[in-house]
Amino acid sequence: MSNPKLEAKECQVTSLQALCAALQHPAVSADPRAVCSLLLTCRSWRTAVQQCAAGATHIPLNSKADLPTILNFAAWLPTHAGTVASIQLELAGPTAYHQQFHTAWIRQCRAAEEALMLGLRAAAVAAESAAGYRSHVPTAVPVQLLAGIAGTGATAREPPVLRLRSFSCNCLSSPAILQALPAASLTRLEVSLQTLPLLLQQPAQGDMCSPRSCDGAAFARALMSLTGLQHLSVTEFNDSTCSSTCSDALIAAAGQLHRLTQLVVRDVTASNSLLLLPPQLQSLELFVTLSSSSSTLQLGQISALQQLQLHLSGRHSPAAGSSLPPQLAALTIAAAFDSEASDVSSLGVPGLQQLTRLSAANCSLCNAQQLQRLSGHPQLQQLLLTYDDSCQAHAAAAAWQQLPQLCSLSISRERPSQVLTTQESARVLECIAAATSLTSLSITEHALMPCAPICSHLTGLPRLQALELRWMSPPSRSDALALTVLTGLTRLVLEGAKAVDDTVAAALACHLTALRHLVLRNCWLTSPASLPVIATLRQLQVLDLSGNPWQEPELSSEDILLLSPLSQLQQLELGSEYVLHVREFWEALGVAGRLSK
């Protein structure tokens, strides 16, 4: 006869084994909802979760998380600290530029920050207390006896040590929370430093919303204690009176982090502090303000650097004496539009012999003369150009066809007063058509005047994978249909294209079967006729059909359900008037957690 107790025990062992196996999959162990649900079950399952999902769960406290939710998480953390791998605190910004909205938002940020800091400290204290208890157990006590203690109500498992590997926060105002982070495990830190806007009145003493200045030295000391950091991003100094002081102090602190390989810092001034950057950095992104004619960028001493991104602004260009690491493999130089920091000739970019990828925006590297020098670069494989001035694009257009490395081109018109003529626009289109190595093309904001059929010029670009035409409407349906030959497209964005109607949309979906990202916004779709054809794009992940003049009757829930075969879809946008219909669509598919707008 079978033994019911033995069978129940075997069943329990089997279920625990299955649970542990399931928790090895990141889709389960990283999901906070799944982990929390399992923690609410029986004691044996809770133990399995705390052991098998240790240090694997991602906690997103985003704009949808209100203060009570954050407080509840802070109270939950000390008991289950061992399961948490990363915490992301990202609060939505104020809804209006008015003192009362800023005050309410800052008060919320401070409260959330304070709650999270207390939770982190409580987790550390709980772990220390448990560790202290374990340390007082005599070493002669057998392991079997410790295991038996669990049956009497005490705990013999390892203390719930916080093994946090990643922490990000977009509303940090004090270094105190950094001091509460576990230095032994933390490898990634992304924070936005927030200080109070000057428009706030002085609150009463003790108000949590009282102004604080950005104490760069305090942040630097807190950072230097996080010795295991490998990735550090510090951005958004919104108090111009202390931004440069903070950034200099943080760069000096980063120089003391000997495991740091990736660094992002905003509001950097071109000063001697750059010489303090650690030599082992492999990836660096700097937002630099060039405030004087003697401002130099001295980065040549970073001997391990492979990827560098420079965002330049200010009234001056990099001065003579600037240097870049000769071993760079990937370089991005983007000058702010209409700034005077565009002349980067002092950086000696053409002389970087190991460079394989170069992205240039609104700087002298985009000029025809510099492009001709780059055409013969021995190692360069990818060249990405961005022009926010269509006149500058026209001046350099003749050089594009001589660049076999040119893979990405973006043209827009930020200065309304400078408009290309019809003849100049046609010339730019001809030069684009001759740049047959392009894989990505973006033309936006009326950068070119209406001229020859724009889409027909693109049919000779066989490598094109991403195409974006915003308010550059094809002149006719036949011109829009010319895009059907670009069968390699995986991303297509057409905005303000009135020639794209239901027939054209269906034809595009029928021929461009590799699409993963499709945006037909503010076009001329008037009925659901194209939806069944769009639904055949089984790889589609993003679909945006908002702003179209759907005629009466407007789209119904049944119409939207025609898109049900899109099993890979992650984001669907049809406009604010269809929010409820889209929500019903996700619920019908059983994927209510996906994005919808």
Greatest mean pLDDT among 119-123, 213-217, 473-477 lies in 119-123
**Pair 251, 265: CB distance under 8 Å:** yes
Q: What is the pTM of this model?
A: 0.83
Q: Which residue has the higher pLDDT, 81 or 203?
A: 81
Q: How confident is the model at residue 294, as a pLDDT?
A: 86
CB within 8 A of 559, min separation 6: which ones?
Answer: 528, 531
pLDDT confidence of 211, banded at 50, 70, 90?
very low
Q: What is the DSSP letter of 158?
A: P
Q: Which fold has domain 486-597?
A: 3.80.10
Each residue of 490-516: pLDDT tens digit? 999 999 999 999 999 999 999 999 999
The answer to whether the beta carbons of residues 176 and 117 sit under 8 Å apart is: yes
Predicted pLDDT at 571:
95
Residue 64 has pLDDT above 80, yes or no: no
Amino acid 111: pLDDT: 87
**Predicted pLDDT at 198:** 33
CA-to-CA distance for 582 and 208, rounded, in angstroms? 40
Calculate mean pLDDT across residues 336-344.
86
Closest CA to 87 of 173, 176, 190: 190
Q: How confident is the model at residue 292 (pLDDT cuts 50, 70, 90)?
A: confident
Burial 109-133 (b: 16+ CB within 10 A, else e): bbebbbbbbbbbbbbbebbeebeee
Is pLDDT above 50 for 112?
Answer: yes
* Predicted pLDDT at 200: 36
At residue 347 the predicted structure's pLDDT band, cuts being 50, 70 and 90, is very high
pLDDT band at 98, cuts 50/70/90? low
Mean pLDDT of 510-535: 97
Question: What are phi and psi for residue 26, nearest 5 degrees?
Answer: -60, -25
Alpha carbons 554 and 551: distance in angstroms, whole number: 6
Q: Are 300 and 326 contacting, i.e. CB atoms less than 8 angstroms apart?
A: yes
CA atoms lying within 13 Å on the CB side of residue 386: 14
Over residues 82-94, the mean pLDDT reads 82
Q: DSSP of 438-484, one letter per residue?
A: -SEEEEETT-S-S-S-TTGGGTT-TT--EEEEES---SSHHHHHGGG
Burial class (CB in 10 A: 0-12, 13-18, 19+), 551: exposed
Residue 557: pLDDT over 60: yes
CA angle 424, 427, 432 (to 5 degrees): 130
Q: What is the pLDDT of residues 455-488, one digit of tens each?
A: 999 999 999 999 999 988 788 999 999 999 999 9
Count CA atoms within 13 Å of residue 444 on its CB side.
15
| DSSP state at residue 295 | -
Instruction: Say whether 203 sits in a helix, a strand or coil.
Output: coil
Residue type, 564: S
- Give the domain ranges of the chain: 13-53, 486-597
Task: Give the integer Cα–Cα distance in Å for 125 and 229.
Answer: 22
pLDDT per residue as tens digits for the range 377-387: 999 999 999 99
Give the model's confidence band at 593: pLDDT under 50 very low, under 70 low, under 90 confident, else very high. Answer: very low
What is the C-alpha to C-alpha distance for residues 170 and 91, in angstroms, rounded to an integer? 7
